[in-house]
């Protein structure tokens, strides 16, 4: 695989790799209910953690770009347009290509087109309610897309209204404002709705856009403290790592035996659980940023999986596994045959994800830096 690892942060690649493999592992539970009990329990737990890691990494890295643009002396709406163009050039092509493929897969399997495709085109499939069974993994992409818009536009508005004020503070104020607003939406849900179990919580809270737009902004907040207090953060990175890991173990493994569940403590699960989960992941990032690996093979593995993670996320569930289960039903598989099927699924997914990345995602993404595109946008390449 001809994949370069130049200018990449290996620690963040490790985090992305674990995130996408957790998601892949989690959705493998759809293959059959006949996995060993421990494996099945691990699959049920892993998906949430994987997606939340992606949100924090995205916020941490996008926050860096937004911060850099905001502090430019000539910051204007032109910077916002340029930022959004680069984000959308990175995310739209794969998303819309595989939306089309998903429609075809759905039609060939069910003999009809999925409902309300327009919502998926506009990224509003989970705006105020959970998305339909079609293209289910796309819910997190809607959260990401709206996050790209809301923060930069609020920052631009503040700069227009108060051009001489401290822009570092603008970044912090907007981040805290967004975190508070979309914490309040969860408070509103808690006092006006109810969830019966973890499945309803998952569908009604975790995957609904108006309750999750704070997810990426925990990464923005981490970026602020990382930039402002870099020396302190790295001095205490091991302590933060321990706190983060302990909290994640508590939230994902220990809380249920301790009686912290949707049924028994709905307020905690609806209002606070995801925020604390995000903060715990934030605590891991400083250690990962400075992480080094001596093994060239390990670096290549993590770099490769990290690079193809977006393609893998879009392909693995509603296209590859959906198609595989239709051609080769797997519900009754057990023992060795179940594991062979699972490994085959993982292998096919990684192979097709690499091919999609290598021959579509990367070439199209690279076009955003082509002189012709930059000239059309009125941008100088820098």
Residue 241 covered by a domain: yes
Query: Own/partner pairs for 71-75, CB < 8 Å, 24+ apart?
Result: 71/167, 71/168, 75/159, 75/167
- Angle made by CA atoms 316, 319, 324, in degrees to the nearest 5: 90
| Closest residue by Cα to residue 360 from 2, 17, 98 | 98
Q: What per-residue confidence (pLDDT) applies to 380?
A: 58
Give dist(CA 120, CA 96) in Å, integer.
9
Query: Who has greater pLDDT, 377 or 146?
Result: 146
Q: What per-residue confidence (pLDDT) applies to 372?
A: 77
Structural tokens at position 66: 């937004």
Give dist(CA 222, CA 241) in Å, integer.
14
Q: What per-residue confidence (pLDDT) applies to 5?
A: 53
Residue 364 covered by a domain: yes
Give the pLDDT confidence of 200-236 residue by residue, as tens digits: 999 999 999 999 999 999 999 999 999 999 999 999 9
Half-sphere exposure of 218 (CA within 13 A, CB side): 24
Distances (CA, A) of 346 to 179, 193, 255, 317: 36, 38, 30, 11
Q: What per-residue confidence (pLDDT) applies to 378?
A: 67
Match 């249920």 to its residue by tokens. 256
354 pLDDT band (50/70/90 cuts)? very high
343-354 b/e (C-beta count within 10 Å ≥ 16 → b)? eebbebbbebbb
1 pLDDT band (50/70/90 cuts)? very low
Indicate if the pLDDT at residue 350 is higher than 90: yes
Q: What per-residue confidence (pLDDT) applies to 374?
A: 72
Give dist(CA 29, CA 32) in Å, integer.
6
- Angle made by CA atoms 24, 11, 92, in degrees to the nearest 5: 55
Please state the separation of Cα 47 from the chain's center in Å: 11
Indicate if the pLDDT at residue 2 is higher than 70: no
Give how many domains the chain has, as a whole number.
1
The full DSSP string for 95-157 is: HHHHHHHHHHHHHHHHSSPPS-HHHHHTT-TTSSSPPPSTTGGGHHHHHHHHHHHHHHHHHHH
Residue 39 covered by a domain: yes
Give dist(CA 273, CA 4) in Å, integer.
38
Match 């296209």 to its residue by tokens. 319
Give dist(CA 239, CA 342) in Å, integer.
37
- Sign of the CA dihedral 268, 272, 278, 284? negative
Q: What per-residue confidence (pLDDT) applies to 4?
A: 52
Indicate if the pLDDT at residue 130 is higher than 80: yes
Per-residue pLDDT averaged across 82-110, rounded? 96
Q: Are 301 and 11 in contact (CB under 8 A)?
A: no
Host domain of residue 173: 10-377
Residue 2 covered by a domain: no
């Amino acid at each position: 695989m001809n994949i370069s690892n130049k200018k990449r942060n290996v620690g963040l690649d490790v985090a992305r790799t674990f995130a996408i493999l957790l998601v892949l592992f989690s959705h493998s539970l759809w293959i059959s209910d006949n996995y060993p009990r421990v494996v099945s329990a691990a699959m049920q737990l892993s998906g949430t953690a994987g997606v939340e890691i992606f949100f924090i990494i995205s916020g941490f890295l996008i926050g860096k770009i937004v911060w850099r643009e905001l502090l430019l002396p000539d910051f204007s709406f032109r910077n916002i347009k340029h930022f959004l163009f680069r984000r959308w050039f990175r995310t739209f092509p794969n998303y819309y290509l595989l939306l089309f493929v998903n429609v075809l897969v759905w039609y060939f399997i069910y003999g009809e087109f999925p409902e309300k495709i327009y919502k998926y085109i506009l990224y509003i499939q989970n705006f105020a309610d959970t998305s339909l069974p079609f293209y289910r993994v796309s819910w997190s992409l809607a959260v990401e897309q709206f996050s790209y818009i809301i923060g930069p536009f609020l920052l631009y508005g503040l700069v227009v209204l108060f051009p001489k004020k401290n822009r570092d503070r603008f970044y912090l104020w907007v981040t805290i404002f967004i975190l508070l607003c979309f914490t309040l939406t969860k408070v509103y849900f808690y006092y006006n709705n109810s969830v019966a179990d973890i499945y309803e919580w998952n569908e009604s809270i975790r995957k609904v856009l108006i309750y999750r737009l704070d997810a990426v902004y925990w990464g923005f907040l981490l970026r602020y403290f990382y930039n402002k207090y870099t020396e302190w953060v790295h001095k205490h990175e091991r302590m933060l790592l321990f706190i983060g890991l302990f909290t994640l173990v508590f939230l994902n493994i220990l809380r249920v035996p301790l009686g912290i569940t949707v049924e028994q403590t709905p307020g905690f699960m609806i209002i606070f659980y995801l925020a604390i989960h995000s903060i715990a992941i934030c605590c891991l990032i400083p250690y990962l940023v400075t992480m080094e690996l001596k093994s060239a093979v390990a670096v290549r593995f993590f770099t490769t999986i990290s690079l193809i993670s977006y393609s893998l996320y879009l392909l693995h569930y509603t296209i590859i596994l959906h198609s595989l289960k239709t051609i080769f039903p797997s519900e009754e598989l057990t023992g060795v045959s179940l594991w062979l099927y699972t490994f085959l699924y993982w292998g096919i997914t990684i192979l097709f994800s690499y091919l999609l990345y290598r021959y579509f995602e990367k070439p199209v993404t690279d076009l955003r830096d082509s002189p012709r595109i930059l000239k059309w946008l009125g941008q100088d390449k820098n």
